[in-house]
Chain A
């Protein structure tokens, strides 16, 4: 094969490869688009169904008794926020604490057991956790309560938070911890002030994702915080929440309640969406290079 023939041959090969490459990229791109379809359709559908019922009253008024139109889900929105806040109070401390324990203390039988339990816990259906809290808190107190709901959500947060915290902290090089120790700082100070605070942004991302995960939970709340048609009265009282309220209204036979449920769903989806956007913002390269 002389030189020109060889070159021609190579050029032809090259053209073929270029075409194959384009075809493959096209295939992959369409596969990704198909994956986006369910997400987009849910979002558009919820938007279309929910928007008509969206007005200021929805955010400010209590649900109306059966038969009366109008009203809103102000108590459910407040209830969901309070639940999340209370759940976070102990879910974060417990979850991040467990993550710290798993990443910072020498591996041993205890940490293996803890890690295994966390994995197991995260795969337990949330309704089981609801039942557990029901027997643990609701039955002794003889009452559904905000506390019980918060505990259930908190327990669901623990495994995800523990594992995400552990993973994040494991990515902090050993040398960073040793640099702290070598400066004459006690280990707990190095862990809290350098390892944890130094990665606060990544940790908060994990926290927000955990919150987003539990804010849509319905099943465990049915047995714990239950529902309430009025404003929340205390931590030991049943409380309304968006998911349960949506559930109640959606299975009802009334048309305007269905509308309310859709609007509630829109609010819930927006809430989760906003939290996800917040994590994107926190992790954006623009901020980290600042």
Chain B
């Protein structure tokens, strides 16, 4: 594995008005690594990854300070346009959210089409590539013009992955991508992630400890907005260094 860090977070703080949700987090992820973020509800893990594509600040009263370097470019630099950042950092959400009334095809190429790409041949090619990468192509290739919302939950989520991949991001953020899915769809997406990591660097928030253990290389444990422990997944899950991590992953929290 290439050990050069593609994602580097330095002293990141995130706020909702006067409430500090992320309190000075620093971590880094190597090229093509899968980083899992775990922690109890409300620990700031979702807020944290929403800072990695500057989506956090879209909420009313929300803002963030600190540095997030993606391929050595600080996305919190004043000169950087948050909109252009989001093209390099894709995101998959907790609930499958295909665009309503758009076909499967239009959903996948929405990012390109609305950014001004017009050539049909290019769009078709990218749609096929992205659907292939999202392991959905064989299931939808005969009904590309059916509405995205006509697919099953698991397929919709893979459609959302395809849509995120179509703009060719360097980093893919996944915010509990399987929490609304059944075990088989979950397994498919986990399987898919091991393929995706060859192309993108993945940061995934998950409530499912076993999932974090299965799919990630490194794990970060958040508690009350702070990064308590960050290390190799195998080490965090067999011999965590911190008492709080130990308590959380063995279910002794409370």
A and B touching (Cβ–Cβ under 8 A): yes
A interface with B by C-beta (< 8 Å): 106-107, 172-173, 175-176, 178-187, 189, 193-194, 197-201, 289-290
B interface with A by C-beta (< 8 Å): 53, 55, 58, 60-61, 83-91, 93-95, 97, 99-102, 110-111, 114-115, 147, 150, 160, 163-164, 167
Known: A184-B83, A289-B150. A179 touches B160 (CB 8 A): yes
In the assembled complex, the Cα of A189 lies from the Cα of B112 at a distance in Å of: 12
Count, A-B residue pairs, CB within 8 A: 80
Say yes or no: B101 contacts A181, CB within 8 Å. no
Say yes or no: A198 contacts B111, CB within 8 Å. no
Known: A106-B60, A107-B60, A175-B93. A183 touches B101 (CB 8 A): no
A residues in contact with B150, CB < 8 Å: 289
A-B pairs with the 5 shortest C-beta distances? A184-B87, A183-B111, A182-B91, A106-B60, A184-B86
Q: Classify the secondary structure of B's interface with A.
A: mixed
Known: A185-B111, A185-B114, A193-B114. A179 touches B100 (CB 8 A): no
Known: A182-B53, A182-B90, A184-B83. A175 touches B114 (CB 8 A): no
Q: Which of B60, B86, B99, B111 contacts A176 (CB 8 A)?
A: B99
Kindly list 5 other residue pairs between chains A and B, CB separation below 8 angstroms, not including A176-B97, A178-B97: A178-B91, A184-B84, A184-B87, A187-B58, A193-B114
In the assembled complex, the Cα of A290 lies from the Cα of B149 at a distance in Å of: 11
In the assembled complex, the Cα of A172 lies from the Cα of B95 at a distance in Å of: 13
Pairs A–B under 8 Å by Cβ, sample size 9: A179-B163, A180-B114, A181-B55, A182-B53, A184-B83, A184-B84, A184-B85, A194-B114, A290-B147
Residue of A106, A176, A179, A194 contacting most chain B CB atoms (<10 Å): A179
Say yes or no: B99 contacts A185, CB within 8 Å. no
B residues in contact with A189, CB < 8 Å: 114
B residues in contact with A194, CB < 8 Å: 99, 102, 110, 114
Query: A179 CB to closest chain B CB, in angstroms?
Result: 5
